[in-house]
């Protein structure tokens, strides 16, 4: 099956992190974004076929979190220009209660406020503002809230089971959580 080059431009019309129909999942393998852990691998042909807006590309998503690349344009974000639209403020205690405590430093108090960005790396402010207008999914979200990301963060693997019995789960995506200096003492 061949996939023609789309008229839609990656990083302009379609987020850089979005998966395309020309990019099938190819299996499990070693990935530089997940040292020591096997990961879901996917063909890389962004811009060919049709964008699957609801699906992140496995490798580009992991790279965006690991290297702080803007998911919209794919370029590095710098300290002072890292923004989120959809991240939720929680406490470290809430994350631990959700079973996501493995990546939280043990010296972080349960009251410490964290910014759960899910699988979405911070964007440049200009990219965030453009996405909020252009993306139908985002522009329909009443909870949309442009705010700065944190100066420190932690990354945890989002694991999926393999279809082969007896093998351990593999990394599908990376989850990102910012660490603030604030405490929630309610």
Question: Which residues are near Zn ion by CB under 5 A?
Answer: 70, 72-73, 124, 127
Residue showing the smallest CB distance to Zn ion in the complex:
70
Question: CA-CA distances (angstroms) from residue 52 to 22, 24, 47, 163?
Answer: 10, 11, 11, 23
Angle among Cα 82, 144, 85 to the nearest 5 degrees reads 15
Of 110 and 129, which CB lies nearer to Zn ion in the complex structure?
A: 129
Nearest C-alpha neighbor of 114 from the set 125, 101, 124 = 101
Phi, psi of 71 (to 5 degrees): -65, -20
Least separation in angstroms between residue 42's CB and Zn ion is 22
What's the closest the beta carbon of residue 124 comes to Zn ion, in angstroms?
4
Closest approach, Cβ 59 to Zn ion, in A, equals 18
Cα angle 35-64-106, degrees, rounded to a multiple of 5: 60
Nearest residue (CB) to Zn ion, 100 versus 128: 128
CB of 111 to Zn ion, least distance (A): 33
**Cβ closer to Zn ion: 19 or 131?**
131
Q: What angle do CA 118, 171, 43 make, to 5 degrees?
A: 100
Which CB, 137 or 183, lies closer to Zn ion? Answer: 137
């Amino acid at each position: 099956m061949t996939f023609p080059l789309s008229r839609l431009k990656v990083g302009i019309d379609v987020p850089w992190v979005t998966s395309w129909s020309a990019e099938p999942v190819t299996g499990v393998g070693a990935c530089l974004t997940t040292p020591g852990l096997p990961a879901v691998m996917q063909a890389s042909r962004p811009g060919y076929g049709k964008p699957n807006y609801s699906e992140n590309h496995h490798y580009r998503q992991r790279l965006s979190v690991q290297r702080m690349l803007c998911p919209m344009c794919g370029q590095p974000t710098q300290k002072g220009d890292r923004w989120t639209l959809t991240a939720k403020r929680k406490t470290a205690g809430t994350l631990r209660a959700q079973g996501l405590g493995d990546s939280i430093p043990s010296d972080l108090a349960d009251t410490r406020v964290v910014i759960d960005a899910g699988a979405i790396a911070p964007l440049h402010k200009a990219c965030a503002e453009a996405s909020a207008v252009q993306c139908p999914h985002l522009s329909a979200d009443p909870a949309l809230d442009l705010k700065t990301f944190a100066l420190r963060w932690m990354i945890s693997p989002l694991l999926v089971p393999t279809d082969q019995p007896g093998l351990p789960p593999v990394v599908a995506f990376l989850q990102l959580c910012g660490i603030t200096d604030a405490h929630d003492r309610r």
